[in-house]
Structure formats: structure tokens, C-alpha cells
Amino acid sequence: MESPQASAAAARTFEIPPHVPAELVRSIGLTDGPEFLAAPHVFMADLHNNQPRIFYNTSQHMPGSWLLTNYDDAYFVLRHPEIFTTAGATPFPRDPNNYFYFIPLEIDPPDHRKYRAILDPMLSPKSIALLEGKIRDMANGLIDQFIAKGECEFTKDFGRPLPVLVFLDLMGLPHHMLDTFVGWAMGLLHAQDRKIAETSMREACAYLATVIKEKAQQPDDGVISKIVHGAARRRGDDRPGDFRLHLLSVHRRPRHGVRDAQQHLPVAGRKSRTAARKSSIRRTTSTPSSKSCCGSTR
């Protein structure tokens, strides 16, 4: 945990609303502090002991937010969209004159369900299970590129490209976009620079606008094409035509639309998947009982 002095210094650089009690203002270095980076599992577990049930976060990641450390409290928040909202919950920069929400993450119920109903069949446990063979092939392909060396830089050589390749396949996008998508994701999530993040977002938007046009003319089995063509529209919707039109009317800058859904897709799951993969391999290689199955890693 950061020292009280460090917390106070962080708080000074961030305007704390007057209603926030001073004793609940904390800067804990969530996701970027040295203690988190050194041992994320321990860091998260210790939050229960070292922090109050609710505190006001001034860390670099999502400053100005209330953080909950108790399961029951978090469960209550998640189950009461009439009180709490996810609008604006993602930290990605957007043009205020052309603002859009990330779908479905930033859409509260009941509209949330409409978009989930489109995406769920394509991303459900059943659908993803069908991809297992293909994902294994991709993993083997990546391993083949460094197996002769006997070592790898795990994040760069495996942890980062695998989820991007899976994502590209799922979306119906070409594998040669791998490095470009990795660059956008890094710019949006890790550059810690607003201009870089804005440039990444702008470029991703422009690319996806082009892809949407292409998929409209040349349908395929990818998720983007299915959304564009409304093939997976909500079953039983009494206004399927309107619903599909709503999804496709990107040129009218709708509040929620197909572009919005796909704006989230360039980063969807890839940060968390990459982080999960890194964390799991780190834990595996640093736990004596698990090491024997890993061989030599770097």
C-alpha cells in the first residue's frame, strides 16, 4: 500500500469533492503501483484487510471513483441499475462532439439486454467451445515460432498475440491486422498518454467504419458481419426491422449503434485476457508445486 504521505500527495493533484470524507480518500496504486505489479493476487486479497469497505479512489486508474472491497456491496451495486450506472465507466477517450457509449458495457438495463441478446449466441460457452480446436492451433503456431530457441518473452511472444488472433478470427478480420490491433490496444490501455489514446481510438474507428462497409457488401461468418446483417437479432423482437435499422444507422450517429458495439471490440477482453494469461503463467512459474509442468520460461 502507498504511505499516507503518498496518498495525500496523490489526493492533492486531484480535486476531491467536498462531500467526500477525508479519511476515505485513498490512492492505492491499483493496476499500476509497484505492489500491485509485484504480486497482484496478494495485493487484491489484502484489500480486504488494508482498506475500508468503500473508499474514494485517487489512483491514476479511474480517479474520482468509489471503490468497493466487499462482495456483498459489489453485488448490490451490480444488481441495482436503477441506482447505479455503467455509463462512462470505461476510461477510453471519445470526441465530445461525437460521443458514443461502449456497447454493451456502458448500457444499463433494460437496453443492456437487447445488445447482449445479439452478442450472447456468438460469444456463449457453447459457441466458444466450438473454437477450441482452432484456438489450440493458434497457440501451437505461436509456440512453434519460439520453440527452437527454448525460451520466449511471454507477453510479447504469446500472451499478447494469442487473444488478438482469437479476436480477429471471431470478428472475421484478417490475421495481418495483428500488429495494428496490438498497437491500438497498447495505445488505448497502456500508453498513459491521452494523445496516443485518442490517435489509437481515431484510427480504430476509421478502420472499423471501412470494415462495416465491406461486411455489408460481402457477408461472412464473423461477428461483425452478423451484427451488420442483423442475422443474430434478438429472437422474438416484435420490431426486428427497427432494431436492425437502429444497429446499422451509424451515419446518423445514434446513441447506440453497430459502430458503438464494435468500438469496444478492438479492446474487448484482450486487456483482461492478456493480463490473465500473464498472471496465470507468473503464478504457475513462481509456485514450486506448479513449476514442473512448465519447463523453462523467461
| Residue ranges that bind other proteins, judged by CB under 8 A | 75, 78-79, 113, 116-117, 120-121, 124-129, 234-236
CB nearer to other proteins: give 44 or 206: 44
Beta-carbon-side half-sphere exposure of residue 63 (alpha carbons within 13 Å): 15
Work out how close the CB of 284 gets to other proteins at its nearest, in angstroms, rounded to a whole number.
20
CB nearer to other proteins: give 87 or 206: 87
Q: By the 8 A CB rule, do 94 and 204 touch?
A: no
CB nearer to other proteins: give 83 or 129: 129
Q: What are phi and psi of 183, to 5 degrees?
A: -60, -45
CB nearer to other proteins: give 68 or 177: 68
CB nearer to other proteins: give 208 or 227: 227
Work out how close the CB of 195 gets to other proteins at its nearest, in angstroms, rounded to a whole number.
35
Work out how close the CB of 52 gets to other proteins at its nearest, in angstroms, rounded to a whole number.
22
Distance CA 37, CA 30 (A): 9
Q: Report CA torsion sign: 109, 229, 266, 254.
A: negative
Work out how close the CB of 290 gets to other proteins at its nearest, in angstroms, rounded to a whole number.
20
Sheet with 65-68, side-by-side order of all strands: 25-26, 54-57, 65-68
CB nearer to other proteins: give 215 or 234: 234
Distance CA 48, CA 69 (A): 6
From residue 287, give the alpha-carbon distance in Å to each of 31, 79, 292: 22, 36, 10
Work out how close the CB of 72 gets to other proteins at its nearest, in angstroms, rounded to a whole number.
11
Work out how close the CB of 217 gets to other proteins at its nearest, in angstroms, rounded to a whole number.
30
